[in-house]
Amino acid sequence: MRFLKGLIYFTTVIFVISCILSGISIFRSDITDKIETFFYSEQESAETIEGDYDFKKETTSHPDESTENEETGQKAEALETDGMEPLKNDVIAESLVSDYILPNQSEIVVPENVLGRNGYQQIQENREQIDDKAAEELQNQIDIGYTGEGLDFDGVRYPYYAMLDDRGKRMYRQIYANANELYSAFMPVEQQITSDQLKNVFSAVYNDHPELFWLETAYSCKYMSDGRCVEIDLKFNRTAQNIDNTRAVFEENAGQLVSEAQNLSSDYEKEKYVHDKLIEKVSYHLGAEMNQSAYSALINGQTVCAGYARAFQYLMQQLGIPCYYCTGYAGEEHAWNIVALDDGYYNVDVTWDDSDGGRYDYFNKTDMDYASSHVRQDLSVYLPPCNGTIYRNLEQNPEESTLRSIADLGVTEDQVLMDMDSYYRNCYEQMLQNGRGTYTFHNVIGDAQLLEEWQRDYQAERYRQAYMEDAMIYLGISSCEMKLEVEELQDGKFLISHRVSAW
C-alpha cells in the first residue's frame, strides 16, 4: 500500500444500519485521499430583506410613550408592573434548531505551534439593579434614541439576527441604530426585555457587524427587581472620538484590499486572497490596542484572534461572500470564521494559519476537521454546519510533510493500539465512559497493515459483536449512529475519529 507524504485523509466504508443500530457510515474513495462523510444536513439561513432607511432619532415608538420634557425630547413612561404579561425566558426564535454536532470539549487538543494564539473576550454585561423610583426618574433623563424602524437584515448575511424572535429583532435594530449613531444611553423599545435576554441580543448585533469597530464588547444595563432592563449604556473605544476620520481611514484601507480581490474570477480565489493578505499584513499580539475589533487588524496591523476574524468577516462581506464570526473554545476562548462557498460552509481560522507551520492548516475545513481543536459555544452553535468538500485542502502542498504527530494529539507511544482486540476494547471503554448523547472519541492505531485489517473488519461488520452491541446493552441504548474518519499521522500511524450519536 502506497501513501503520499502529504496529509492524507481517506474514506473506507459506508454502513447504514437500519435496525437497532442506526448506522455506521464511512465513504471510501481511495487510500491516498482523505476520509469524508456526508451525513450532515445543511441548516438553511432565515430569509429576510435588507431595507434602505435613514437613521432617525426616535422619541415616540410605543403608544404609551409621552412627551414630558422639552429639553431632552420625548421620554418613555415609567414602567408599570401591574397587568403586564409574564416575561419570556429568551428572545431566541422557538423554531431555531442547531444541526452542528458539538465535540467533546475535554478532548480538545491544541497543537504546539498555535498554543496561546487566542485572545477572544466574551461579551461583558455590567448590571446595576435599581428600584421602582429610580426607574421612574429615568424617563426624565434618557429616551429610546434611534429605534432602527424600517431596517431589516438579510438572514444569509446576518445569521445572528435571524436567530432572534420578533422581540429580539426589534431590540437588535435599536441597539444597532444607536451604536451606528454613537448614541450610548437609551431605554429599550421592548419594555419587558430582561437583562439576560439583552445579552443575547447585544451578542447578535456585535457578532453580525464588524463595521461597528468602535463598539466595545462590554455594555451596562440598569434593571428592576423583576429582571426587566430599563436602561442600556453602550461603550465605545477611542476611535469614536473622531469617528468621521477613523471611519474614513478604515474604509480606505479595507477598500484597497477589496478592490484588489473583487476582480478575481471566483469566490474561492477572493477568499484565499483576503486570507493571505491578512496573514501578510497583520501580526498576532496579545496586548494590541482594541484587539477585539477589525480596526486593530486592518489599521494597526496587530491583533488577536477576534481582530483577525472580524477583519476577515468584514472584507468577505464587502466582497458579497457570506462570512460569519464564530466564537467558542480552542484551549482557551477563541474566535474564527465560517464562510459560505457554492457547495456549502467551511471553517477558517486566519489566526492559527498566521503561525509557524502550514499557512492553510485551518483554511476551509469541515466540522470534523475542527472537532479535535475547536468547539463552538453560545449562539455560534446555531450557525450552519460546515461540510463543504470542493474547496477543502486545495492549498495543501503534497511535497511538504504536513502530517501530524502523536505528540500533536497528546498521545504517547504506549497509548497506540497495535492489534484489533486492543482497538475494540478501547472503543468499548470509551463508549461506556461517554454514555448516551452525541460525542466524539478517538484512538490511534499503529500501522497500515492494522488499518487494512480494520477496514476488513468493518466491511464484515465484526465491530458489532466485537464492541458495539455489548456497549449498547450495557448503556441501555436502542439506537446508535457512528461516523468514522481516518487521518494519516507521522511514522505510519493513523488517527481514527468516531462521531457517535447514541440514544
Strand bridging mode 283-284 / 323-329? unpaired
User: DSSP alpha helices (H): ranges in 138-194?
Assistant: 159-162, 166-180
Amino acid at 127: R
Find all residues with CB under 8 Å of 149, minimum gap 6, and list them: 53, 58, 61, 173
77 within 8 A of 139, measured Cβ to Cβ: yes
Strand bridging mode 437-445 / 375-376? unpaired
pLDDT at 54 (0 to 100)? 39
22 within 8 A of 135, measured Cβ to Cβ: no
Measured between alpha carbons, how far is residue 105 from residues 35, 97, 194, 271 in Å?
23, 21, 30, 29
Amino acid at 335: A
pLDDT at 214 (0 to 100)? 98
Residue 485, SS3?
strand
pLDDT at 401 (0 to 100)? 53
What cell numbers appear for 479 in the block?
439506537
pLDDT at 167 (0 to 100)? 94
Instruction: Please give the Cα distance from 291 to 353 (Å, whole number).
Output: 18
Helices 305-318 and 243-261 meet at what angle, rounded to 10? Answer: 70
Render each residue's pLDDT in the chain as its tens digit; 503 residues.
333 333 334 333 333 333 333 333 333 333 333 323 322 333 333 333 344 333 444 443 332 333 333 333 333 333 333 333 444 468 999 888 899 999 999 999 999 999 999 999 999 999 999 998 898 888 788 999 999 999 989 999 999 999 999 999 999 999 999 999 999 999 999 988 988 899 999 999 999 999 999 999 999 999 988 888 999 999 999 999 999 999 999 999 999 999 999 999 999 999 999 999 999 999 999 999 999 999 999 999 999 999 999 999 999 999 999 999 999 999 999 999 999 999 999 999 999 999 886 689 999 999 999 999 999 999 999 999 999 999 998 886 434 556 888 888 889 999 999 999 999 999 999 999 999 999 999 999 998 889 989 999 988 889 999 999 999 999 999 999 888 989 989 888 999 999 999 98
First to last CA, the chain: 38
12 within 8 A of 484, measured Cβ to Cβ: yes
What is the gyration radius of the CA atoms in the chain, in angstroms?
26
> Could you identify the residue written with the cell 504527530?
405
Residue 85, SS3?
coil
